[in-house]
């Protein structure tokens, strides 16, 4: 298996599980930083490698009037500040080829949203930066279909690849996670990420916005750790109902530490079998 190096964090093979976490979207800079600082304190106590995540733009909102974030320029400036203040790598979504050059100057991982995972230009041009590329498997793809995405990134000469599971479309505003997808995607030779909070999303479930079932996050998280996932991706917030995106499925920060203790205990067992 290829491993992926993000600063001093090695992901994949038999390395311990890594945490990607932060609010869904950049909100007020101070609050966004505070959430990151709280998560980092937990990660430090548990000795779990940590990468901060927040989106500078949520380009696929259900409603035209939904909050999207500060945008590329201001958002990258905020992420650069958080990166410096916390001393951790950062990841954010990109939505267009025109964003890639600027994003690569700040981000340690360029993340391809699920709906864009088959868009050749954005995948290929992101790969050409040499930065790690995290591709979220489309809700419409079978796990083995990700081999074609991998081929596009490898064609650009990049082997710093992460593949993310975030549930499959079941219709009627619902997603279902097939945990077979984690070992299937891992068999393609690259580390696999489980997105525990988007997997409990109910797309469009609130009419003009998505809803979610936050109460199921711990169950799916522990199951993913048991399946041998390399990275755990979670969107967290100090008060999720106040969140400006994905308020129904983000996890409370104060619930994170106890859940991660379970994850680490399970990961200790599953790493023996990787």
Between CA 236 and CA 50 the distance in angstroms is: 13
How far is 51 from 78, CA to CA, in rounded Å? 15
Residue closest to 9 by CA, chosen among 230, 197, 265, 159: 230
Determine the distance from the C-alpha atom of residue 71 to the mean position of all C-alpha atoms in its chain, rounded to a whole number: 19
Residue 205 CA to residue 209 CA, distance in Å, equals: 7
Q: In sequence order, which residues have a C-beta less than 8 Å from that of residue 52 and are 6 or more positions away?
A: 20, 21, 22, 36, 39, 40, 79, 82, 83, 86, 88, 89, 90, 91
What pLDDT score does 273 carry?
A: 87
Other CB atoms within 10 Å distance of the CB of residue 265:
11
pTM of the model: 0.96
Please determine, for residue 229, whether its predicted confidence score (pLDDT) is greater than 80.
yes
Q: What is the pLDDT of residue 104?
A: 98
Each residue of 28-87: pLDDT tens digit?
Answer: 999 999 999 999 999 999 999 999 999 999 888 777 878 999 999 999 999 999 999 999
Which pLDDT does position 211 carry in this prediction? 86
Spatial distance between the Cα atoms of 274 and 266, rounded to a whole number of angstroms = 13
pLDDT above 90: residue 171: no
**Cα distance between residue 136 and residue 113, in whole Å:** 6
Contact 38, 6 (CB under 8 A): no
Residue 197 has pLDDT above 90, yes or no: yes
The predicted-structure confidence for 257-273, as pLDDT tens digits, reads as follows 999 999 999 999 999 88
Q: What pLDDT is recorded for position 61?
A: 72
pLDDT of residue 50: 98
Q: How confident is the model at residue 7 (pLDDT cuts 50, 70, 90)?
A: very high
Contact 258, 217 (CB under 8 A): no
Measure the CA–CA gap between 273 and 36, rounded to whole angstroms: 32
At 274, the pLDDT band (50, 70, 90 cuts) reads confident
The CA distances from residue 87 to 36, 40, 133, 254, in Å, are 11, 9, 20, 22
* 2.170.190.11, 3.20.20.70, 3.30.390.30, 2.40.160.20: CATH of 4-273: 3.20.20.70
């Amino acid at each position: 298996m290829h491993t992926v190096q993000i600063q001093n964090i090695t992901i994949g093979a038999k390395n311990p599980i890594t945490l990607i976490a932060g609010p869904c979207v950049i909100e007020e800079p101070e609050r966004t930083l505070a959430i990151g600082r709280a998560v980092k304190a937990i990660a430090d106590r548990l000795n779990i490698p940590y990468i901060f995540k927040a989106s500078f733009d949520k380009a696929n909102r259900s409603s035209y009037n939904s909050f999207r974030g500060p945008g590329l320029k201001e958002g990258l400036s905020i992420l650069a500040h958080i990166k410096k203040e916390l001393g951790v790598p950062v990841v954010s979504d990109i939505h267009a080829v025109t964003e890639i050059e600027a994003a690569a100057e700040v981000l340690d991982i360029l993340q391809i949203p699920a709906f864009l995972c088959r868009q050749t230009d954005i995948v290929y041009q992101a790969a050409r930066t040499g930065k790690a590329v995290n591709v979220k498997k489309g809700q419409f793809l079978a796990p083995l279909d990700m081999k074609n995405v991998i081929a596009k990134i490898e064609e650009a000469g990049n082997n710093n690849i992460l593949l993310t599971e975030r549930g499959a479309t079941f219709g009627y505003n619902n997603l279902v996670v097939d945990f077979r997808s984690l070992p299937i995607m891992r068999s393609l030779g690259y580390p696999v990420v489980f997105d525990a909070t988007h997997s409990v999303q109910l797309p469009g479930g609130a009419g003009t916005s998505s809803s979610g079932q936050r109460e199921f996050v711990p169950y799916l998280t522990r199951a993913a750790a048991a399946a041998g996932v390399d990275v755990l991706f979670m969107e967290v917030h100090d008060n999720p109902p106040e969140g400006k995106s994905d308020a129904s499925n983000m996890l409370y920060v104060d619930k994170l530490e106890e859940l991660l203790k379970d994850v680490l205990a399970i990961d200790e067992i599953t790493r023996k079998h990787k």
